[in-house]
Amino acid sequence: MTATEDVTESRLLLTEYDRLKEEQKTRIGFRDNLLYFTLAAVTAVVAITVESGQAQVLLAVPVVCVVLGWTYLVNDEKISAVGCYIRDRLGPRLAELSGAHGAVFGWETYHRDDATRTTRKRLQLGVDLFTYVAVPVICVTAFWCSSTVRPLLLIVSLAQIPALAVLGWQFLRYAER
């Protein structure tokens, strides 16, 4: 756009759309990489535990999973919020301004009508819950079954369980949307 061109509401909305899609794309990449990073971190902690024979090292897994799981969840929610905003606010406003009959940004609604979407979303929820909740619970349980349980570490491990439960509840809560 040159300095002589008029700034119109339509142009502003299209610019906003471009920026939102860029943010969404960036967040999707970051979110997806968090899953791989979490798997790598958990694998590293388990390898260190096996190598050292120190079961208390497993207590790092719940901390890693709560922090990375929450970050994953927040990014996932923002990705969905951008899509919702485009579908519910930005698209209709642009359609109104342009006089378009029907929806603009058709992909924003089209891809949501896929017959396998519900199954995919449920499977992804299962992967997320397994990665960010079940694996750390397994690590805490393995610590409890070891001979290295000390009172302070037991208290730490007991505090980790409610934190994981809250994270799991948040995953379920966001999945309902």
Convert the pLDDT of each residue in 129-148 to its tens digit. Answer: 999 999 999 999 999 999 98
Q: Which H or E element spans position 172?
A: helix 151-176
- What is the predicted pLDDT for the residue at 26? 96
77-93 pLDDT, tens digit per residue, is: 999 999 999 988 998 89
The closest of 157, 134, 135 to 146, measured between CA atoms, is: 157
Q: What is the DSSP-derived secondary structure letter of residue 133?
A: I
Contacts by 46-53 with C-beta closer than 8 Å and gap 24+?
A: 46/139
Task: Give pTM, 2 decimals.
Answer: 0.86
Percent of the chain with pLDDT over 70: 95
Mean pLDDT value across residues 19-29: 96
